[in-house]
Amino acid sequence: MAEKISRRKFVIITLFSGVSLYVAGWWAFKVRKGDASDIIISIIRKKLGYMKIDKSEVKRFAGDFQKTFSNKQRLIGGWAGMLRPFYSLLDIHKITPFSDKFKNFEEYAVTTFLLSCDFFRNGADLSREVKYTVLYDPYEIGCENPFANY
Amino acid sequence: MSSQPPGKGFDLIVVGTGFSSSFFLYSYLKKAKKNERILVLERGKYDSLDWQLENKSSASLDFSKLFINRNRDKGWYFAPGYGGGSKIWWGCTPRMLPNDFKLKSRYGVGKDWPISYDDIEEYYCRAEEIMAVSGPDNTALFPRSRPYPQPPHLLSDPDKILQEAYPDRYFPQPCARAREGTKNRNICCAAGVCDICPVDAKFTILNELDYIYRDPRITLSLQSEVKNLNVNGDSAVSVEYMKNGVSEKARGELFILGANSIFNPFILLKSGLDHPMLGKNLNEQVSKNARVELDGVDNLQGSTSITGHGYMLYDGDHRSDYAACLIESYNVPHINGLRAEKGKWRQRMYLKFIFEDIPSPQNYVKISDENPELPETVYIDFSDYTRRSVEKLPERLNELLKPLPVEDIIISDIINITDGHIMGTAVMGDDPETSVVDRYLKHHRIRNLLVLGSGSYPTCAPANPALTLSALALWAVDHL
């Protein structure tokens, strides 16, 4: 006769299965495809939440931005996206083993977005709506540094 | 094997088309006879700036496949092909300081150079003229006999605060990123991707010295990989090289090795010109970066990618105990990084700290045992002298940056894997027992052979090596 499973064991197995399914699903649909757009959108909305930016602008930026990623960046972005449901509430990445790498990733996303939108060209005016213009690529457009005097 | 027909040898054979070969030829051609025959052998291709920008790569030949490096923590970076290192350098042209040439006699460490700052001051000036270097007026640290060819670049606001606090030790970086346009170059606009300048503002062999390779006396042979020199007694007589899969030989009267400090010793070793110091003392500077979060001072207003140059940790009695350090202040938004906090976007400095090292024979270039057709770099570590200076940086930096409104200083834990400078493997000196070449870069034994480049440096100052090695190439021509 089969042994009856305890309630505690059942909860653990269910939780473990759920998390495993979530991680496997995330890997299959996001990490494997190198899709980091979710976390890029979350980063911009969290870090630059004080700016007037339409979500569609951030989405367009995220789509273009992730196309430039190295494999390593795809991996960081892809896996970090898995924690996105909690990201907007707390700095959950601080307690993960890759916190430094993710902090750099955050800075890279914020810097690239700020240089890819019209915010500084419009005098850093927080009352104006911010538009994504074109992905910042100084190799492509030589004199795009918005701050330099020459 | 095909060879030059009898009687058709060359007066001069030059290996490489980077800084040292090109500066040598620039000066040599002015003195050469009208019917002189010069062969230049370049291993790589001509990769135009357009090609580099399109491919986001400085060379079509993959440098990492040209040598064996078993130390994953220590990289060596270079750009093979026409123009060599000038394609990837950032155009930083500090001179070495007078005391850099006499580290042993002044501070009791390392070695003295066989030449002094005064010996090559004139050649520094000439090299700066060729590169149209932009530089500051206050240069008491490195006395000049004439002003810089171009005015200094504009500093950023935090740079200006440091300049006010350290007027004789902090100033605009001397550089070959044009402040004023030249016939062949545009004005620098601080794009911050100087490895492949999108506006062609930095000096390269391709934009300013390309014309010398069209001189009718020169035969330029691209994709020609030099294998070895043939020596008869105390003279080099010919060079063997591979072109299009065919082994070629060319005879010559005078030979110039102007490959880099991995390949110059490799060619000499393959030529059987062993010497206890050949290939030894492989070194470069050690560097790390820091971010300085500022309170209320915006950055990034300067006119070029690296604006401030700080000598506050460079020369002084401390060099008896720990290494000199040169500071660079970056003016590039995508390198500095922008802050996310409201209103503080530009309130950050990004500083690079470049430490000298004391070369050690434990680091060297050899012929690979695994593949004798390739050089192999063996690098154990940098010196304790340098490590002490790196370790003192946090404490010294807190004091140094007091003139700035600092919120936080974040020094990277990481030592940069490379600065793209390769030095020390064919050292110069007056004693043939302890050096490979003499003060004029002539091989001690093979007197019709010169070994140019930063391989000749007895010590490694914090200053970037390109200007000094270019000046030394000009100096060598005057002492043939």
Q: Do A143 and B53 touch (CB under 8 A)?
A: no
Q: Strand B10-15 and strand B246-257: pairing?
A: parallel
Specify the number of domains making up chain B: 1
Give me the pLDDT at residue A78, please: 72
How close, in Å, is residue A3 to chain B by CA atoms?
A: 54
Q: Is the pLDDT of residue B2 over 60?
A: no
Say which DSSP state B437 is in: B
Q: Which residue of A has its CA nearest to B298?
A: A147
Confidence (pLDDT) at A1: 52
Residue B3 lies in a domain: no
CB-based contact B342 A112, cutoff 8 Å: no
* Inter-chain CB proximity B53 and A111 less than 8 Å: no
Task: Tell if the CB–CB gap between A150 and B189 is shorter than 8 Å.
Answer: yes
- Return the minimum-mean-pLDDT range out of B17-21, B29-33, B161-165, B414-418: B414-418
| C-alpha–C-alpha distance, residues B58 and B84, integer Å | 9
Tell me whether residue B329 is in a domain: yes
- With 90 as the cut, is the pLDDT of residue B113 above it? yes
Going by pLDDT thresholds of 50, 70 and 90, the confidence category of residue B421 is very high
Alpha helices in B72-203 (DSSP H): 103-107, 117-131, 157-165
Enter the tokens of residue B20: 């040292």
Q: Inform me whether the pLDDT recorded for B229 exceeds 50.
A: yes
Contact of B35 with B11, CB cutoff 8 Å: no
CATH of the domain at B268: 3.50.50.60
- The percent of residues above 90 in pLDDT, for chain B, comes to 97
In a domain, B450, yes or no: yes
Question: Which residues on chain B are in Cβ contact (under 8 Å) with A47?
Answer: 340
Q: How far is CA B102 from CA B76, B460, B464, in A?
A: 27, 12, 17
Can you give the pLDDT at residue B5?
Answer: 47
- pLDDT at residue B8, rounded to an integer: 65
CB contact under 8 A, A146 and B198: no
Question: Which tens digit of pLDDT belongs to each residue from B241-250?
Answer: 999 999 999 9
Give the residue on B whose Cα is nearest the Cα of A44.
Answer: B340
Report whether A105 contacts A44 (CB < 8 A): no
Planar angle of CA B421, B449, B370, nearest 5 degrees = 55
| CB contacts, 8 Å: A48 with chain B | 340
CB-closest option in A50, A124, A149 to B154: A149
Residue A12 pLDDT: 84
For residues B113-136, give the mean pLDDT.
98
Report how far residue A110's alpha carbon sits from residue A127's, in angstroms, rounded to the nearest whole number: 19
* Average model confidence (pLDDT) across chain B: 96
Residue B198 at interface with chain A, using a CB cutoff of 8 Å: yes
Does residue B2 lie within any of the structural domains? no
Which residues of A fall below an 8 Å CB-CB distance to B? 47-48, 50, 106-108, 110-112, 114-115, 120, 124, 126, 136, 138-150
| Pairwise CA distance, residues B290 & A102, whole Å | 18
For B232, other C-beta atoms within 10 Å of its C-beta total 9
C-alpha B189/C-alpha B179 separation (Å) is: 9
Q: Chain B contacts of A107, Cβ < 8 Å? A: 337, 340
* The length of chain A, given as a count of residues: 150
Q: What is the pLDDT of residue B27?
A: 98
pLDDT at B42 over 80: yes
**Distance (Å, whole) CA B46 – CA B151:** 32
Which chain A positions have a beta carbon within 8 Å of B56's beta carbon?
Answer: 139
Q: Give the H or E element holding residue B26.
A: helix B19-31
Compute how many other C-beta atoms are within 10 angstroms of the C-beta atom of residue A11. 10
Interchain contact B383–A (C-beta under 8 A): no
Element (H, E) at B316: none
The DSSP 8-state label assigned to residue B15 in this structure reads E
A15 confidence band (pLDDT: 50, 70, 90): confident
Which value does ipTM take for this structure? 0.89
Q: How confident is the model at residue A21 (pLDDT cuts 50, 70, 90)?
A: confident
Residue B174 pLDDT: 98
Question: A111 and B191: CB-CB below 8 Å?
Answer: no
**For B158-195, what is each residue's pLDDT tens digit?**
999 999 999 999 999 999 999 999 999 999 999 999 99
Cross-chain Cβ contact A149/B346 below 8 Å = no
**How far is A81 from A88, CA to CA, in rounded Å?**
11
| Residue A29: predicted pLDDT | 61
How many beta-carbon contacts under 8 Å exist across A and B?
A: 75
Residue B433 forms part of a structural domain: yes
Q: What is the pLDDT of residues A22-39, one digit of tens each?
A: 766 766 565 555 577 888
**What is the C-alpha to C-alpha distance for residues B192 and B196, in angstroms, rounded to an integer?**
10
- Taking CB atoms and an 8 Å cutoff, what residues of chain A touch B300? 145, 147-148
For residue B336 the two structure tokens come to: 């500095």
Put simply, the answer to whether A111 touches B334 (Cβ < 8 Å) is yes
Q: Cα–Cα–Cα angle for B203, B207, B212, nearest 5°?
A: 110
B151 touches chain A (CB under 8 A): no
Q: Categorize the per-residue pLDDT at B228 as very low, low, confident or very high, splitting at 50, 70 and 90.
A: very high
Question: What is the per-residue pLDDT across A77-121, written as a single tens digit (0 to 9) for each?
Answer: 777 777 777 777 767 666 666 677 788 889 999 999 999 999 999
pLDDT tens figures, B345-403: 999 999 999 999 999 999 999 999 999 999 999 999 999 999 999 999 999 999 999 99
Q: How confident is the model at residue B311 (pLDDT cuts 50, 70, 90)?
A: very high
Within a domain: B87: yes
Q: Of A20-29, A123-132, B119-128, B134-143, which range is least confident?
A: A20-29
Range of the domain at B430: 8-478
Percent of chain A with pLDDT over 90: 42
Q: What is the DSSP letter of A31?
A: I
Helix (H) or strand (E) holding B257: strand B246-257
